[in-house]
Every structure is written in structure tokens, then in C-alpha cells.
Chains A and B, each alone.
Chain A
Amino acid sequence: MELKDILNEYGLVGVISTYKFTLDEEKKVEDLNIKNIDKALKMVNLQEDVKDKYLKDLSLDELFKIDLISKLDKDIIIVGNLSSCLNYKDRDFIKKLLLKLVNNYHKKIIVIDNDVKVFFNLVKVVVVVSGKDILYATKDFYDDNLYKYTSIPKIIELIKYLNKEGRKIQETTDIYELIKDIYRSVS
């Protein structure tokens, strides 16, 4: 199976890899000719004055958001570095926006990141690629094979540890579900 087949099936795919911005940093935002730029800026919570800035002067969250809105007219949108560019509030906001683009506007989106945590509540399948080849794909965040390629998120590592110690904690990616389960277990 190829990445495009997985993308066609799921609409939104997480890819474990490194993403580099390809925007020309010597340009100003307004030089990117982003369609309906004022509306697009509003959609990602950016002020209009960002249009006058050079890309090299943008903060990382601004750069991420400009990279995203510069691709909104494409059917397949590739974004990356959510974990390194965005604080957690922005990550949640952007994840909701990406889901909306897939569900309401029928976009297909590839999210590239090395931090699996970014994919929680966002993608149904995580893919490891090397060039154009798929090395591994899984729908299960608790799949040990996935962590041959990247770091294991702490919540998954802790639950695996507790279960190895016989504590019978349910597999989850939600800290509040984990707390409920711990509470039930120790009470």
C-alpha cells in the first residue's frame, strides 16, 4: 500500500519524520499571494499586520500558521512541526482546524512530526516512511513496533510500565481517563 492509498482511505495521516519549511524566508508574507488572506489569517488567529512581516522575522507559531494557510487551495495539504512550533493551546486549536478541513472541506492532510503525542485525537493511522517507501503503518498508539522509529509518549510508557507490574490499567491517551482508572484501582 502507498501513502496516497492510506490518505485516500483516512483523509488525515500522521507521518513520523522531520519536516522542513520550504517557504522563502527572504519574502514578506504578503508576497506569498495567499488567496483570501484576511479571511485565512483570521481562521488561524493571526493579526492582519503579520502581512507586512518578513518570514524570517516570524515567530515559530506564526511561521507554522502561514505555512498552513499558504496551502489551503491545494487538495492535499502537508504540514509539520506542530510539536516544535506551537504551544499546547495552539496545538489543540490547529488540530481542530485540521479536522474541520478534512471533514467539512474534504481536504486530505498529511501531518509530519516526530512526536507521536501530536497525533492523539487527530489521526487514525500513523505511518513511518523512508523516502517514498512505507516502512511501517499502525492504527494503534500502543504498538511497540512504532517506537522502534521514534520516542514513546510518557503516558503510553507509564501505562505499559504499570501493566507490566500487574496494575491492570486501561490503555488510553487521555490523562483524565488514566486518572479515573488509577483512582478505581487504588480505591
Chain B
Amino acid sequence: MTSDITIMSTNLNKNILKNYPDYSIIGGEFTNNDLLKYSKVIFYEVLNNKKEEEIKELFSFLKEHHIAFINVTNNEEQVLLTDYLIIYDKEKILIEGSTLEVLKQEKLLKRLGIALPFMVELSLLLQDYGLIKDIYLDYKSLEDALWN
């Protein structure tokens, strides 16, 4: 398991935080400097009001300072910002692994009500139509694969 993790769940409940007793729960407003006193932090649905660039900067800051972190979220786009993904079904771990490997189990995830990040879903659908062969996470690579 890596030091940066996203957790998604079929229905998010604070009880899952009990599984990570050595992590400090971050809630409400905070600055990056506030986080320096911790070695492990867990964000429980507190990053949704931030723009993607702000979250990327926050995660880079944490990595730079060797602070392990878990982001618990229902926002499917945020899963691509960490290398490791854990999917809970209620309060039990259902699947975990590298983010892209977990996301490839699209049928299971969708059955659970968990959405895929847009670029992953689009890539998988375009694969079904035989238009591309890989998953593309950035626009230029997808465009090159489709039109060039």
C-alpha cells in the first residue's frame, strides 16, 4: 500500500475511520502548515469545495513533507489524484489496489453505485466501440489516439 490513498464507499459513514486509528482526522478549515504536525492525515469529505488544482497542490505538499494521507470522498474525479484506491461496501473493504486496476472493474463499481472518473469511463466506452485501445487520462493523448 502506498502513502496516498483514496477511499470511496457505497454509502460513506464515519465508522470506516475507525479502521485507521493512527491517522489524524482533518475537518473544517485548515492551512498546509497546520498539517505539518502530523505524520498521517485523513480527509473525510472536506476537499470537495476545493478546485482540482488546489487538491493537487495539497497532495504534493503532503508528499514533499512525507505525510501519509487518505482522502475519503464520493467525488469520482478525485480518485485519480492518488495511486491507491480502496472501495468499501458499507463498512467492509470490497476491493483495493492501484487506482487504475481497481477502476477497470467498472461493472462491479457501477453495480455498487460508484461512478468512474470521466476520462476513464469515456476511454472504456470508446474501447467498446473499437476506437481506442488504452485508457487516456489527458485530453491531448486521447485526441492523438482518436484522430492521428
Q: How far is the CB of A158 from chain B (nearest CB, A)?
A: 5
In the bound complex, CA of A136 to CA of B74 (Å):
27
Task: Tell me, yes or no, whether B102 is within 8 Å of chain A by CB.
Answer: no
Segment among B9-17, B30-38, B61-69 that sits at the interface with chain A: B9-17
When distances are taken between beta carbons in the complex, the residues of chain A under 8 Å from B113 are: 87-90
Once A154-B77, A155-B118, A175-B118 are accepted as A-B contacts, the answer to whether A59 and B13 lie under 8 Å apart by CB is yes
Q: How far is the CB of A110 from chain B (nearest CB, A)?
A: 18
When distances are taken between beta carbons in the complex, the residues of chain A under 8 Å from B115 are: 87-88
Residue pair B45, A84 in contact (C-beta under 8 Å): yes
Nearest B-chain residue to A92, judged by Cβ: B113
In the bound complex, CA of A157 to CA of B53 (Å):
14
Residue pair A154, B125 in contact (C-beta under 8 Å): no
Residue pair A179, B147 in contact (C-beta under 8 Å): no
Residue pair B48, A88 in contact (C-beta under 8 Å): no
Please provide the chain A residues from 119 to 172 with a CB less than 8 Å away from any CB of chain B in the complex. Answer: 150-151, 153-155, 157-158, 161-162, 165, 167
Majority SS of interface residues in chain A? helix
Once A162-B139, A179-B129, A183-B131 are accepted as A-B contacts, the answer to whether A87 and B48 lie under 8 Å apart by CB is no
Chain B 35-74, CB within 8 Å of chain A: the 1/0 string? 0000000000100110110000000000000000000011
Once A84-B45, A86-B74, A115-B75 are accepted as A-B contacts, the answer to whether A175 and B125 lie under 8 Å apart by CB is yes
A residues within 8 Å of B by Cβ? 18, 58-62, 81, 83-90, 114-115, 150-151, 153-155, 157-158, 161-162, 165, 167, 175-176, 178-179, 182-183, 185-186
B residues within 8 Å of A by Cβ? 10-13, 45, 48-49, 51-52, 73-77, 112-115, 117-119, 121-122, 125-126, 129, 131, 139-140, 142-143, 146-147
Given contacts A88-B113, A114-B48, A114-B49, 8 further A-B contacts (CB under 8 A): A59-B13, A87-B112, A87-B114, A90-B113, A153-B118, A158-B122, A162-B139, A167-B147
Q: List 9 A-B contacts (CB under 8 A).
A: A59-B13, A60-B45, A83-B75, A84-B73, A115-B48, A151-B51, A154-B77, A154-B117, A186-B131
